[in-house]
Amino acid sequence: MPYLHEWSPALRESLPHLRLGSGPTPVRRLGALESGSPEIWLKDESGFGEGGWGGNKVRKLEWLLPDAKRRRRKTILTFGGLGTNWGLATALYGRDQDLHTALGLIDQPRDKHVETQLERLEASGATLHFTRTKNRTIALAPWLIARHSSGLRPPYILPSGGSSPLGSLGYVETAFEIVAQVRSGELPEPGHVVVPTGSGGTAAGLALGFGLAGIPTRVTGVIVTEHLKLDDHAIRRLAGKSASLLRRRGAEFPEPPLDLEMTSDWMGETYGAPTPESERAIERARAEGLELDPVYTGKAMAALLDKSEAGEFTAGPVLFLNTNGPR
């Protein structure tokens, strides 16, 4: 049973859940990355999903796909860059649930990884619309919605990254999973959790989850894109909307504290552009048997290492979330 349903039995009927991966995902200490205190720990989300394929987007789909089914939608319409992990995860996991996926794709610099992702997207059966820019995507939205309606039923529309208030519950669930791992002694109680942030659902969900569980863990979101507003205010707002959703579905709880800070200091020039700091971090992590990517997790690890060396983690052990799926 999901932790959320255990926490509030009122949610069992009102909040459908579809198991797509098996938790708890593994945790281990990354001793070689430490420079004195604090301890650095890893929670590895990369194997979450059927056949070990997925990462953090699958956590969101566990709540989104059954909602789309319950609303009897036939098609999911969503958005991303040409190399979107989110779009690919939605297409593949949606297909298993008889849900078709339509994607509005915005340009991003094409490298080998992006080309490979595009091939996978084409093979996934999703309908691809190359809308090029954010403004053109917005202008074309009415046409896309009409094109992907079946009869009077509109498509199930999701924001890029799956970071709707419902999708973000995937990381409330993960925060509860982390708390269970702390209680069973697998992991010390983290003072800090560091995650890459591309659309905000991971950071917002975790902060809300720790708040609801009453654990004083601070979430640091390392922003990797300039395309969305992802500052403290935006992430707090998203977490607040997820909390309202839980209340509307029957959960009762006092106003949770949200301990989070967002930083864009490690983004570099633009989304997807490598930085020397992230290249160094990727190399150091590799020596610990941890494979990171240059777009998301490398930049988050660079922030973690720099902040750790600067003595900024004063609240105890730091937990790094490897959100990356295999590539």
Q: CA 42, 23, 101 angle in degrees (round to 5)? A: 105
Residue closer to ligand PLP by CB (options 201, 256) is: 201
Residue closer to ligand PLP by CB (options 86, 210) is: 86
Binding test (CB under 6 A) with ligand PLP, winner from 78, 164, 199, 308: 199
Distance CA 138, CA 288 (A): 43
Distance CA 4, CA 6 (A): 5
Residue 196 binds ligand PLP (CB under 6 A): yes
Distance CA 16, CA 63 (A): 7
Binding test (CB under 6 A) with ligand PLP, winner from 131, 164, 202, 217: 202
For the CB of residue 72, give the shortest distance to ligand PLP in the complex, in Å: 27
Collapsing DSSP to helix, strand or coil, 276 comes out as helix
Residue 49 binds ligand PLP (CB under 6 A): no
**Nearest partner of 93 among 137, 119, 123, 58, judged by Cα:** 58
Residue closer to ligand PLP by CB (options 1, 173) is: 173
Distance CA 277, CA 298 (A): 8
Site for ligand PLP in 86-115 (CB under 6 A): 86
For the CB of residue 21, give the shortest distance to ligand PLP in the complex, in Å: 14
Residue 278 binds ligand PLP (CB under 6 A): no
Given the rule CB under 6 A, which of 68-76, 96-104, 113-121, 190-198 is the region that contacts ligand PLP? 190-198
Residue 78 binds ligand PLP (CB under 6 A): no
Residue 75 binds ligand PLP (CB under 6 A): no
Binding test (CB under 6 A) with ligand PLP, winner from 2, 54, 55, 256: 55
Indicate the residue type of 212: L
DSSP run (H or E) holding 165: none
Write the DSSP assignment of 72-129 as a string of letters: T-SEEEEEEETT-HHHHHHHHHHHTTT-EEEEEEE-----HHHHHHHHHHHHTT-EEE
Binding test (CB under 6 A) with ligand PLP, winner from 8, 25, 56, 75: 56
Residue closer to ligand PLP by CB (options 74, 241) is: 241
Binding test (CB under 6 A) with ligand PLP, winner from 104, 200, 209, 211: 200
For the CB of residue 185, give the shortest distance to ligand PLP in the complex, in Å: 28
Looking only at the bridges linking them, the beta strands covering 192-197 and 318-322 are parallel
Binding test (CB under 6 A) with ligand PLP, winner from 83, 201, 256, 294: 201
Residues in the chain: 327
Binding test (CB under 6 A) with ligand PLP, winner from 101, 278, 308, 324: 324
Residue closer to ligand PLP by CB (options 48, 86) is: 86
**Nearest partner of 94 among 141, 156, 171, 34, judged by Cα:** 156
Given the rule CB under 6 A, which of 11-19, 103-111, 191-199, 261-269 is the region that contacts ligand PLP? 191-199
Distance CA 297, CA 278 (A): 8
Contacts of 112 (CB under 8 A, 6+ apart): none
Which residues in this chain contact ligand PLP in the complex, by CB under 6 A?
55-56, 85-86, 161, 163, 196-202, 296-297, 323-324
